[in-house]
Amino acid sequence: MSIDKQLREELREAADSMNCPPELYERARQSYQHYVNEKRGKSPMKKRMLAGIAAVAILIPSAAFAASYLADDIFGSSSTIEQHGGTQEDYQEIEGMLQAAKGKLTEDEFQEYMELTKQLMQLKLKITDENGVKHEEKLTKEEQQQFEQLASKLAPYFEKINGTAKP
Amino acid sequence: MNDKELLPWLEKATLGDESAFQLVYQATHQDVYRTVAFLVYNKQDIEDIVNEVYMHMWRSFHKYDPNRPFRFWLHGITVRLVQDWKRKTWRRIRLFERNRQMTCEQQFDWTDKAVLQSEMQHELFSLVRQLSYKLRVVVILRYFHDYALEEIADMLQIPVGTVKSRHHLALKQLRKRHERTGGDVYVH
């Protein structure tokens, strides 16, 4: 008998006597389950990580935007003043004014200033048509009073901002 | 079950169908186990590697080329994982030392009784088990799985010339030892 043939025969016979232990099935099944779970739902940890990354990705730009545009707090967006004959440059100018106020006033003062400015601007927007022309007669008597009150309340802030206030 | 019949089940198994997994396991586990057991002798290691082979099978089924025989792919994975295991063992020298000690001390504990018995009945088989790994893997793929030398080279990712010389060397050693112990092998 050639060695080739004998090798084949003996390996075949030896293989027949080597049997895979039955308990290995359970182990392979568990690994398989693990694979399926991994493939289907990802792990809960992975899900949380993804949600976290998504949240950060959304928060970062909106935080940066909110910090840079104070004027948005007052008008909502630049399109509001564009509807009343304003331009992007005007908007930037107002923004610059507000930024300057933020730098010079204390936090409490600034909040008050913003609130008053907001009310004043609402009234100003009301009397300004789409071409930027003012029509003060549009205001009611009460509104005119309110306007004047706001202007007088804001005056000391303006002095502070422009550096004319006396200590 | 042949390769073509097995393929749809394999695909189902990778998609999470547990009955398909059972079927694939039943159809392949003896072959995988025996292949590993010819190459690695520690019972625990054999089982670890077999388990790894199945994990690998699910994970990289998408890389399988259906134009090639499934068993060739499966044996490729098996041989590669056995080699990975060997490399890891060498790297972790301390573990290797421990393994060697265990090999010396508990030789009769971990070797299957059945294997011992066939070693006694089959002299050539016991000689194959004494060959170095590099020679043995060629002998197993050639004479147990009936692969051509070119296919073995492809599977082991070594040049055909290397496979030829290892094959030659393995047979030479087997013949020499066999003759010494009085076997009836004709040199041709």
B145 and B80 within one domain: no
Interface check for B25 against chain A (CB to CB < 8 A): the answer is: yes
The 10s digit of each residue's pLDDT in A117-142 is: 888 888 888 888 777 777 777 778 88
Residue of B9, B10, B25, B75 to mutate when probing chain A, most A C-beta within 10 A: B25
pLDDT confidence tier of residue B146, bands split at 50, 70 and 90: very high
pLDDT reported for residue A46: 67
> Quick one: pLDDT band at residue B92, thresholds 50, 70, 90?
low
Shared domain check, B141 and B50? no
Please tell me the predicted confidence (pLDDT) of residue B2: 74
CB contact under 8 A, A2 and B185: yes
Is A72 exposed, middle or buried, given 0-12, 13-18 or 19+ CB atoms closer than 10 A? middle
CA distance B84 to B82: 5
Q: How many domains, in total, are found in chain B?
A: 2
B98-133 pLDDT, tens digit each: 666 665 544 444 456 666 766 767 788 889 999 999
Nearest to B185 among A6, A12, A27 (CB): A6
Q: Supply the ipTM of this predicted assembly.
A: 0.80
Q: Which domain holds residue B56?
A: 1-110
Overall pTM > 0.80:
no
What's the CATH code of the domain at B159? Answer: 1.10.10.10
Provide the pLDDT for residue B95.
60
Q: Which of residues 27-66 of A touch B (CB under 8 A)?
A: 27-29, 31-33, 35-36, 39-40
Low-confidence ranges of chain A (pLDDT < 50): 165-167
Written as six digits, the tokens of B40 are 């690695």
Q: What's A134's DSSP letter?
A: B
Residues B73 and B146 in one domain: no
- The alpha carbon of residue B143 is apart from the nearest alpha carbon of chain A, in Å, by 5
Please give the pLDDT value at position B107. 46
pLDDT attached to residue A57: 79
Phi and psi for A68 in degrees, rounded to 5?
-90, -20
**Same domain, residue pair B142 and B159:** yes
Give pLDDT tens digits for B53-83: 999 999 999 899 888 899 999 999 999 999 9
What is the residue-averaged pLDDT of chain B?
84
The answer to whether position B188 is within a domain reads no
**Chain A residues touching residue B143 (CB < 8 angstroms):** 4, 7-8, 11
Sort out which chain B residues have CB atoms less than 8 A from A17's CB and list them. Answer: 114-115, 117-118
